[in-house]
């Protein structure tokens, strides 16, 4: 069984003012795993719809399978984390998950519908074993209270987004030159690199054993630090920003004391409201690999940026790089901005940030609404679906929604870690995962992509996000009373 002494000893192998080598091993491991994951995700719905290499599915059929896949992907860490904690240990679980990932991507390189379903099963299992446990190993590299831990999760989060950024670019190029199936094989190759890195440099990742529990609960300060680690682990497990992006000081014991004075029932109701917001956010945000990819593929003129062949064959795939590009570009300026406001006592509360995040999410889809309206007004032959607009519409929309993501997503898990009663913290963290999975299941609203005008579809999603933003603004006062100090 792991002990605090063992963790301190592992960390001491480096230097207390330097990140241990294990962080960079896990950074590379996660970067290549996310390369494989997002290569597949960028191509998947277009592959299902492709009549030559794929299966000629309708947008509704492809979107439905995509939604079900995402739902299970975001639920799987609950199971994989439990198995690792009780039976396998974290490093072994990650290796098992990597092998399932490799099998899943290789299966997609074969032209068979049965292979598709077998592949998705392998990828869900692989994600369950890999994602929660590689995130946990990052935290386990540091002793409790280490001032480097927050920065470690921010570095690790950058690895996620570097992998997510380069994946569609390479997948799109391979797809344009060689087709879908070789591109899926490239995704498998990325996963092979990931597993090889972890195996080759495993000496830098001490296996701390099973039944590793949050370290100390003897003092409010230690308990809060453990809660922050749990929040960051859960955040990076779902590819969300860690709590450090919010600049909220969760380690303030006096704030925790104020929070503990609020009745548990009021705090739980407040978190349920947040979960409802999260469901709508992920339903809207994760249109990126389905309807936004369809829009990028069929209704966006990429010849202004790429060669005609690449634009025709892979513009929709490559568009999936825009969001991680903005995440990499905007994260640290936003951290600086929150710090700037915090030093002046002006940083907004967490619920206020989340309300602004939902407002920006709505605005991003209203931008796409006007893009589609512009295209529909000049559609070829009067066909309201036959138009192409500038890719700058998508670039601008992703810029706005990424700002919304960075305001909303890291705040949510940090909020759970601070607001949930200690005895129910694990349950409420699980509630966040369930809410995320529900939101991803509801991406199935994309079945209306070919039934409604594209402008109508974007407008509906924008209005849904705006309604949740208004609800949050209206509930700010009671939410602040239920969650003082955040």
Least trusted range by pLDDT, from 2-16, 352-366, 438-452 = 2-16
Predicted confidence (pLDDT) per residue in 270-300, tens digit: 999 989 998 999 999 999 999 999 999 999 9
If one counts every other C-beta atom within 10 angstroms of the C-beta of residue 286, the result is 22
Average pLDDT over residues 1-14: 44
Cα three-residue angle 406-409-412, rounded to 5 degrees: 135
Map out the domains of the chain with their CATH numbers: 1-213 (1.20.1250.20), 246-486 (1.20.1250.20)
Calculate the CA dihedral of residues 229, 240, 37, 394 and round it to 10 degrees. Answer: -170
Distance between terminal CA atoms of the chain?
A: 35
Average pLDDT over residues 385-399: 96
pLDDT band at residue 7 using 50, 70 and 90 as cut-offs = very low
Least trusted range by pLDDT, from 36-50, 215-229, 344-358 = 215-229
**Distance set, CA 472 to CA 89, 420, 442 (Å):** 40, 19, 20
**Distance set, CA 89 to CA 1, 13, 95, 301, 401 (Å):** 10, 21, 10, 49, 37
**The two structure tokens encoding residue 198:** 């972890």
pLDDT of the residue at 248: 54
Predicted confidence (pLDDT) per residue in 444-457, tens digit: 999 999 999 999 99
> How far apart, in whole angstroms, are the C-alpha atoms of residue 226 and residue 216?
7
Average pLDDT over residues 88-97: 94
If one counts every other C-beta atom within 10 angstroms of the C-beta of residue 109, the result is 18
Bridge partner residues of 15 (DSSP): 18
> How far apart, in whole angstroms, are the C-alpha atoms of residue 119 and residue 106?
8
Q: Is the distance from CB of 303 to CB of 311 less than 8 angstroms?
A: yes
Res. 427: pLDDT tops 90 = no
Tell me the percentage of the chain whose pLDDT exceeds 70: 89
pLDDT band at residue 208 using 50, 70 and 90 as cut-offs = low
Least trusted range by pLDDT, from 254-258, 277-281, 475-479 = 254-258
Q: Is the distance from CB of 69 to CB of 162 less than 8 angstroms?
A: no
Q: Which of 42, 75, 352, 5 is nearest to 175 (CA)?
A: 42
> What does pTM read for this prediction?
0.90
pLDDT band at residue 308 using 50, 70 and 90 as cut-offs = confident
> How far apart, in whole angstroms, are the C-alpha atoms of residue 226 and residue 222?
6
Length of the chain: 486
Cα three-residue angle 307-46-391, rounded to 5 degrees: 45
**Distance set, CA 128 to CA 28, 132, 133 (Å):** 19, 7, 9
Q: Is the distance from CB of 359 to CB of 463 less than 8 angstroms?
A: no
> How far apart, in whole angstroms, are the C-alpha atoms of residue 425 and residue 414?
11
Report for 138-142, 179-183, 308-312: range of highest mean pLDDT: 179-183
**Distance set, CA 254 to CA 5, 382, 485 (Å):** 28, 64, 9
Res. 97: pLDDT tops 90 = yes
**What are the residues whose beta carbons fall under 8 Å from the beta carbon of 250, sequence distance 6 or more?**
224, 227, 228, 243, 414, 417, 418, 486
Res. 253: pLDDT tops 50 = no
Res. 219: pLDDT tops 60 = no
Side-chain-side CA neighbours of 52 within 13 Å: the count stands at: 4
* Residue bearing the bigger pLDDT, 366 or 430: 366
Average pLDDT over residues 21-30: 96
């Amino acid at each position: 069984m792991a002990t605090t002494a063992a963790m301190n000893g592992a960390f001491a192998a480096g230097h207390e003012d330097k990140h241990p080598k294990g962080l960079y091993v896990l950074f590379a491991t996660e970067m290549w795993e996310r390369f494989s994951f997002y290569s597949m995700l960028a191509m998947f719905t277009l592959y299902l719809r492709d009549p030559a290499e794929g299966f000629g599915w309708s947008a509704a059929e492809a979107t439905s399978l995509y939604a079900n896949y995402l739902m299970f992907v975001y639920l799987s860490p609950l199971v994989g984390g439990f198995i690792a904690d009780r039976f396998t240990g974290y490093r072994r679980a990650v290796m098992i998950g990597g092998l399932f990932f490799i099998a899943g991507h290789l299966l997609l390189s074969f032209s068979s519908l049965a292979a598709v379903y077998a592949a998705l099963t392998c990828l869900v299992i692989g994600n369950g074993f890999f994602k929660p446990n590689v995130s946990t190993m990052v935290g386990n590299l540091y002793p409790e209270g280490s001032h480097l831990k927050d920065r470690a999760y921010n570095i690790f989060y950058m690895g996620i987004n570097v992998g997510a950024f380069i994946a569609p670019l390479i997948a799109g190029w391979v797809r344009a030159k060689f087709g879908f199936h070789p591109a899926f094989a490239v995704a498998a190759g990325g996963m092979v690199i990931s597993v090889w890195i972890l195996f080759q440099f495993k000496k830098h990742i001490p296996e701390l054993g099973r039944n590793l529990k949050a370290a100390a609960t003897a003092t409010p300060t230690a308990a809060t630090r453990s809660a922050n680690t749990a929040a960051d682990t859960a955040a990076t497990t779902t590819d969300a920003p860690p709590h450090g992006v919010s600049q909220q000081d969760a380690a303030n014991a006096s704030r925790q004391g104020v929070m503990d004075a609020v009745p548990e029932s009021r705090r739980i109701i407040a978190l349920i409201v947040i979960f409802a917001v999260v469901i709508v956010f992920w339903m809207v945000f994760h249109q990126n690999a389905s309807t936004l990819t369809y829009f990028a593929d069929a209704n966006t003129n990429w010849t202004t940026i790429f060669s005609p062949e690449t634009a025709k064959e892979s513009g929709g795939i490559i568009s999936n790089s825009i969001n991680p590009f903005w995440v990499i570009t905007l994260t640290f300026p936003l951290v600086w901005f929150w710090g700037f406001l915090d030093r002046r006592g002006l940083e907004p509360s967490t619920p206020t940030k989340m309300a602004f995040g939902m407002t920006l999410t709505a605005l991003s889809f209203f931008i796409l609404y006007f893009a589609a309206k512009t295209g529909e007004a000049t559609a070829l032959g009067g066909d309201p679906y036959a138009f192409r607009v500038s890719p700058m519409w998508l670039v601008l929309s992703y810029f706005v929604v990424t700002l919304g993501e960075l305001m909303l997503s890291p705040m949510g898990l940090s909020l759970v870690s601070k607001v949930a009663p200690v005895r129910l913290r694990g349950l409420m963290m699980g509630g966040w995962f369930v809410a995320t999975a529900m939101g991803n299941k509801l991406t199935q609203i994309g079945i209306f992509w070919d039934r409604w005008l594209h402008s109508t579809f974007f407008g509906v999603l924008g209005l849904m996000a705006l309604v949740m933003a208004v609800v949050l603004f209206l509930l700010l006062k009671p939410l602040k009373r239920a969650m003082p100090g955040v």
